[in-house]
Structure 1
Amino acid sequence: MASKLEELTTFLSKNNNAQLAIVAAAASVATLVTVFSIQGVQRKRRVRKLKEELGDFSDGIENMNQKFEPMLSSYDRDPSVSELFQKEYPNRIVDKKSVINLQSDEKELFSEQLARNKVFFGEEGLEKIMNSFVIVVGAGGVGSWAVMMLLRSGVQRIRIIDFDQVTLSSLNRHAVASRSDVGTPKTVVLQQYIQNIVPHALIDARVELFSIDNASELLSGNPDYVIDCIDNITTKLDLLKYCYDNNLRVISSMGSGMKSDPSRIQIADIGNTFEDPLSRSVRRQLKKMGIEQGIEVVYSTEKPGKVQLLPLSESQEESAEEFAVLPDFRVRIVPVLGKYLA
């Protein structure tokens, strides 16, 4: 062994190129180790900063419930908000048994309108779709697109539930809202727009905040499907738990913050999801409630890029609470995939 080391030493002492090669290799290894170490530290800092900005979904649900429950309850009791909208925009009660009366000429028009749907779904399939009743909870960047696609697919009985109004920041993702709709309830905007596409459609627009207290009334009518388009995790869990306990078929939209690849969108059971932080949080909380399988979700397997909350303007920073939809409610949210998920 000693003789081999001596031979190697002698060889290197006489060969400058070999010496340079070894030095270069050692320097490269040292550089790579340094770069990877720096990247690792930076990655940990970004993750830590992201967690600080977003909070811990998996462990903070109970605290969130305690924080938001009084606020949500006061919203339901506030006549200047919920009851006022209900008086201004009285809704039509729609359920599975609601009868749709069409004149012969309207039947002919609607049949032509769905001609391509009939080719795709078949006559029996389209008939089933046309006779269905679907409830969509949440009418924002996901829910509004879901409603429009249901309508254009042939669904004629839809209940839309959302307490919120259209804002300027809604216009980059809402399916139908325009500047003239700012300040109008999102459900009402959808209802009015739908009349121009399928005038005879029965749309039950509820300007209400979903909660476990009004779940039995809002989800009544024997729906064929409930579509969860809620962006508040506590309310989302309440909806999913209620649907599971009452054997209501539900499909839930999961997280898509900073994701942009529609080819990675999947439909799966909540128990089989991966690579999605919101799905993981929902899955953990449902497991605590005794639910491990049986809830269908739409989610993306794409790993999100660098995520940070949208910044507040200078005026918003001075009085941020004035820009919240509800007291103590979020003012800025993580950018999302929007219509692709719908």
Structure 2
Amino acid sequence: MMQHELRRTGMLIGEEKLTKLHQSKVVLLGLGGVGGTCFETLVRGGIGNLTVVDNDIFTLSNLNRQLLSSYDNIGKYKVDAAIERASQINKHCVITGYKAFIGLENMEEIIPEGTDYVIDAIDTVTSKLQVIEYCRAKEIPVISSMGTGNKLDPTKLIVTDITKTTMCPLAKVMRRELKRRGIGSLKVISSTEKPLVPMEIGQESTDGPVSMLKKRSTPGSTSFVPPAAGIILAGEVINDLMER
């Protein structure tokens, strides 16, 4: 029987595909600017089993772009906020959360046999490569987000193969490293916009908790490019799962 919450979606795709989505098992890696919006779109889109992985907490600097962030959530684990959020919008979605960095030591636990789709919204190149290699070996579909920082035009976001990406420093590194590993193709979302050079406007605020992730450089970001990428990622996954 169709969930009443998803009746409007069912009007477009029918009950059979809604059931298929409800039975799907998706793993989402990263709950930041891209991943947080992707998460909510998947939950509202009818995915029935969702595993989320993120080891970070919310800080003040997340408020400009991360859908799950709020003043009330500052200092709270992103995974905890995501699970709480999901309970408010789709009680039929089963969420499994990991407050962890994904790596070779926990890959099989987080992405078990039978996973229908993996969404990579991670910032770290090493982790992205490990996940992609693992998914290829296990024949699990994976889609990967390239860089969305230092961009201002969400209409320049495209879904393409990694080999066709341009204007993205992260994609350039990923192309090179995937080629070294014998991986010639990968479905990605990437921007064709030339990245801007961020201005230095002072240090991160010390008025609240500081991110536990150590980054070499902090990109500028907006309220509309990373979230737009998250919606597109979720849409790709939902459409792919429906058409299997």
TM over 0.5: yes
The alpha-carbon distance between structure 1 residues 324 and 283, as it changes in their structure 2 partners (threshold 3 A), is same
Distance 2:51 2:200 in 1: 31
The alpha-carbon distance between structure 1 residues 315 and 140, as it changes in their structure 2 partners (threshold 3 A), is closer
Distance 1:228 1:242 in 2: 12
SS in 2 for 1:282: helix
Question: Of 311, 330, 336, which residue of structure 1 is paired with 2:215?
Answer: 330
| Superposition pairs of residues 183-332 of structure 1, within 5 angstroms | 183-293=75-185, 295-304=186-195, 306-308=196-198, 311-313=201-203, 323=210, 325-326=212-213, 329-330=214-215
1:112, distance to aligned residue in structure 2 (A):
2.4
1:340 equivalent to 2:216? Answer no
User: Which residue does the alignment assign to 1:71?
Assistant: none
User: Which residue does the alignment assign to 1:6?
Assistant: none
Q: Which has the larger radius of gyration?
A: 1
The alpha-carbon distance between structure 1 residues 312 and 331, as it changes in their structure 2 partners (threshold 3 A), is farther
Q: Relative to structure 2, which stretch is displaced further, 218-227 or 283-292? A: 218-227
User: How many aligned positions are there?
Assistant: 225
Tell which has more relative contact order, 1 or 2 (C-alpha 8 A, sep 6+). 2
Q: CA RMSD in A?
A: 2.2
User: Which residue does the alignment assign to 2:7?
Assistant: 115
2:68, 2:78 within 8 Å by CA — same for their partners in 1? no
The alpha-carbon distance between structure 1 residues 243 and 254, as it changes in their structure 2 partners (threshold 3 A), is same
Please state which structure has a larger fraction of its residues in helix. 1
Distance 2:45 2:141 in 1: 19
User: Which residue does the alignment assign to 1:39?
Assistant: none
Distance 1:309 1:221 in 2: 45
1:324, 1:330 within 8 Å by CA — same for their partners in 2? no
User: Which residue does the alignment assign to 1:163?
Assistant: 55
Distance 2:32 2:64 in 1: 11
Unaligned runs of 5+ in 2: 231-244
1:324, 1:331 within 8 Å by CA — same for their partners in 2? no
1:116, distance to aligned residue in structure 2 (A):
1.5
Identity rate, percent: 34
Runs of 4+ in structure 1 over 3 Å off: 309-312
1:113, distance to aligned residue in structure 2 (A):
1.4
The alpha-carbon distance between structure 1 residues 274 and 331, as it changes in their structure 2 partners (threshold 3 A), is closer
1:200, distance to aligned residue in structure 2 (A):
3.1
SS in 1 for 2:152: coil
Distance 1:152 1:188 in 2: 18
Distance 1:175 1:314 in 2: 20
Question: Of 36, 56, 64, which residue of structure 2 is paired with 1:144?
Answer: 36
The amino acid that maps onto 1:340 is: A
Q: Deviations over 1:33-67 (max 9, x none)?
A: xxxxxxxxxxxxxxxxxxxxxxxxxxxxxxxxxxx
Distance 2:210 2:198 in 1: 19
| Superposition pairs of residues 171-190 of structure 1, within 5 angstroms | 171-190=63-82
The alpha-carbon distance between structure 1 residues 310 and 215, as it changes in their structure 2 partners (threshold 3 A), is farther
